[in-house]
Amino acid sequence: RQPAKTLWYDRPRYVYLEFCVEDSTDVKVVIEDHRLVFSCKNADGVEFYNEINLYARVNSKDSREKRSDRSITCFMRKWKEKVAWPRITKENIKPAWLSVDFDNWRDWEGDEEVERAMVEQYAEV
């Protein structure tokens, strides 16, 4: 069992996590108010497991995940919106498997419309 490579980025209302596992099966995502637990297997049967104590509280009832052929993306609704998260983990440590998704990271002040469109797009899939 090993951790999946994980990318994350911050938005005004949501925090996004992408677990990079291709052809995943047996995907389990548990989003709690202060913790996320992820597990799955890949096509070769390798088991992946990540557990993250979150930097701040999320609304677990308004959080969801989406699986694609290449990854599993979780979007978690922040309890306190429009408050930037300097990191995704409660502890001020950076696990080797966790990275900032610089392709999606941006200074988001006044960016709520873009985020709302992204969430709606995910919900349609």
Instruction: Please check the confidence at residue 123 and state whether its pLDDT lies above 90.
Output: no
DSSP 91: S
- Residues in CB range of 110: below 8 A, 6 or more apart: none
Predicted confidence (pLDDT) per residue in 31-42, tens digit: 999 999 999 999
Predicted confidence (pLDDT) per residue in 59-68, tens digit: 999 999 999 9
pLDDT value for 106: 73
CATH architecture classification, 6-124: Sandwich (2.60)
Q: Residue 15: count other Cβ atoms within 10 Å of its Cβ.
A: 21
Q: CA 112, CA 125: separation in Å to the nearest integer?
A: 21
pLDDT value for 78: 97
pLDDT value for 105: 82
Instruction: Please check the confidence at residue 122 and state whether its pLDDT lies above 80.
Output: no
